[in-house]
Amino acid sequence: DTGVSQDPRHKITKRGQNVTFRCDPISEHNRLYWYRQTLGQGPEFLTYFQNEAQLEKSRLLSDRFSAERPKGSFSTLEIQRTEQGDSAMYLCASSLNTLTGGTYGYTFGSGTRLTVV
């Protein structure tokens, strides 16, 4: 397994356009997370999935943000009608969550850097 993969690495878009990012987690991991990181800050949690179920989405920044994980494997994060304030690094992570042992091994991808012009 090559770890968590994110695509694209960089995205430049014009304000008002929609963008979609993809994340491929480690195959054995059942949880997938999305984080946003702005300049000079630590990553900020957005949402997560357990298999295909999105169990937390209240931290998504606005209703312009949505995420899917249709088959419990890869995930997409979409931002509609992008704004300049959406410019950030979007990080994906995956982990293995067990019923008895908790969550182990958060592994992060290299991120997608979004620039809205």
Binding stretches for another protein (CB under 8 A) = 4, 6, 33, 40-45, 48, 55-56, 91, 93, 102-104, 106-111, 113
Closest approach, Cβ 69 to another protein, in A, equals: 15
Residue 65 vs 80, nearer CB to another protein: 65
Residue 44 vs 68, nearer CB to another protein: 44
Sheet holding 75-79, edge to edge: 5-7, 19-24, 75-79, 65-68
Residue 18 vs 103, nearer CB to another protein: 103
Residue 73 vs 104, nearer CB to another protein: 104
61 token code pair: 């920044």
DSSP 56-76: E-TTSSSTTEEEE-TTSS-EE
Closest approach, Cβ 81 to another protein, in A, equals: 26
Closest approach, Cβ 74 to another protein, in A, equals: 17
**CA angle in degrees (0–180, nearest 5) for 30-55-34:** 70
DSSP state of 51: T
Closest approach, Cβ 98 to another protein, in A, equals: 13
CA distances from 8 to 12, 24, 41 (A): 10, 12, 22
